[in-house]
Structures are given as C-alpha cells and as structure tokens.
C-alpha cells in the first residue's frame, strides 16, 4: 500500500474545530474525493489514517499533519487538489507527498508559534518574556484527565522573540505598538507544553495579564535544528 503524508492548515473560524470535528470532516472529504483508502480489518473497519500532534481547539495552524494509507498508487498533487475542494474553506490542504521511511510522529520534534497580544505594548511583553527566560525552571499546573499535573515549562522553550506588529497587518494602522508579537520555538515534550502553559508561566512569573485572549497560530512543526533553533520541514 502507498502511504501519503498530508499537511493542512486551520484558518479563520475553522480554528475552533476540535480534533474530532476534523476527523469526521476529513473522512467525508476522502469519500467525496474518491481517494482509494485502505481500511482496517474486523467487524468495524475504519480508514487507515494516523493523526499526529494536532493543535488545540481555538488555535490556528499552518502546519498540521496526517498520514493516509491507500490501496493503489495515486498522484499526491491530484489528491491534494481533490481533498482541498472537498473540505470547507478554512481547512486547507497545503501539501501532499508520498511518505518516506520512518514515523511521521517521530519527526515532529518542535513547533514554532506566533502569539498576538492585542492591547499589550511591546516593552511590557518583552520584559515579561525576559523574566521567564532568565529562570532555570518555571513550573505550571494543568488539569489533565488523571487530575492536576505540574511540569516545567521553561525547559521546553528553545527560543522566544518579541516584536511589534507591522502597520501593514495591524487591524487599525497606527496601533501596532499596542499589539506585541511573540514568536517562539517550543520543543515537544511529555507532557506537551502548550502555548497556554507558557501564557500561564508569563502570568505567574511577570504578572502579565493581557486585556483579551491572545491569538495563537502554529507556523511550523517538524525536526528541530538545534544549531539554529529552527523548525525544519518534516515532509522534506
């Protein structure tokens, strides 16, 4: 069987779709696009789809990944076009390639995130991030299915930079100084350190409380180049 790796994006309002919502939408889209899916055996066969490290509900992303198994060879670009047309705008198929050796999940070592803090001046956010980066440890507690769990956030942060939103993309030109942007590379750990955990650490470390919830977007996820602190393409 041929394996395909798919990169897709969650944009606009579709960032509020849950992982389960996306799974149902993808399975319907695969049927509409006539993709010759492979199915599991047994009384309740299901399509052979592997989901890898999906972003949380409410988080936009330019780099989500799934792996598909098909029963006959197909052209990856044709599958991309057909799937993209079968899915609603906002869930966009960016790339489809034939799978290489190894596990896709094992190649997703880190993520690059962009966090927009509307109403927060750049110097305020920069000072808060500097305080967090100066610490050797920064523990937060998150409620999990098995109860509260405390873990270190600081160790997962590979890099973090604060900048000002450009006037070209600011919602109201002239107010960019009150919309600070945090871009950070975060290593995938167990338990996973999410952007919300880092926001909790900023609140507890530097008393940073944004006037409105920040807009979080995953820009990339894949292998981590430790020499440059950059996330590289897992499909390359």
Nearest to 187, CA basis, from 235, 147, 225, 149: 225
**pTM of the model as a whole:** 0.92
Mean pLDDT, rounded, for 132-144: 95
Residue 170 has pLDDT above 60, yes or no: no
Task: Show the DSSP H helices in the chain as ranges.
Answer: 19-32, 76-86, 104-107, 122-134, 195-206
Mean pLDDT, rounded, for 180-205: 96
The pLDDT of residue 166 is 65
Give the chain's mean pLDDT: 93
The pLDDT of residue 168 is 40
The pLDDT of residue 145 is 83
Q: Which domains does the chain have, with CATH numbers?
A: 2-106 (3.30.70.580), 108-231 (3.30.70)
Query: In this structure, what token pair is assigned to residue 109?
Result: 């070592």
Query: In this structure, what token pair is assigned to residue 26?
Result: 């993808």
Residue 169 has pLDDT above 50, yes or no: no
Question: Token pair 């309002």 is at which residue?
Answer: 13
Mean pLDDT, rounded, for 111-132: 97
Residue 85 has pLDDT above 80, yes or no: yes
Residue 76 has pLDDT above 50, yes or no: yes
Cβ 105 vs Cβ 54: under 8 Å: no
Separation between Cα atoms, residue 216 and residue 156, nearest integer Å: 17
Q: Which residues pair with 123 in a beta bridge?
A: none
Residue 54 has pLDDT above 70, yes or no: yes
Q: Is the sign of the CA dihedral 32, 38, 42, 46 positive or negative?
A: negative
């Amino acid at each position: 069987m041929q394996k395909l790796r798919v990169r897709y994006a969650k944009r606009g309002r579709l960032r509020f779709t849950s992982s389960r919502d996306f799974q149902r939408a993808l399975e319907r889209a695969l049927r509409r696009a006539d993709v010759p899916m492979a199915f599991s055996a047994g009384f309740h066969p299901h399509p052979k789809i592997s989901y890898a490290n999906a972003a949380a509900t409410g988080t936009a992303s330019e780099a989500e990944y799934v792996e598909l198994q098909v029963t006959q060879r197909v052209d990856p670009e044709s599958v991309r076009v057909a799937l993209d047309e079968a899915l609603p705008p906002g869930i966009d198929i960016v790339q489809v390639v034939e799978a290489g050796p190894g596990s896709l999940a094992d190649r997703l070592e880190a993520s690059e995130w962009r966090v927009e803090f509307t109403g927060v001046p750049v110097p305020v956010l920069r000072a808060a991030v500097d305080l967090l980066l100066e610490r050797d440890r920064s523990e937060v507690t998150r409620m999990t299915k098995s109860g509260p769990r405390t873990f270190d956030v600081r160790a997962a942060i590979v890099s973090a930079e604060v900048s000002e939103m450009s006037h070209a993309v600011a919602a109201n030109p002239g107010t960019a100084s009150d919309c600070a942007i945090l871009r950070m590379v975060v290593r995938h750990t167990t338990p996973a350190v999410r952007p919300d955990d880092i926001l909790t650490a900023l609140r507890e470390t530097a008393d940073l409380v944004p006037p409105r919830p920040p807009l979080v977007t995953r820009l990339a996820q894949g292998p981590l180049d430790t020499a440059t602190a950059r996330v590289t393409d897992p499909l390359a």
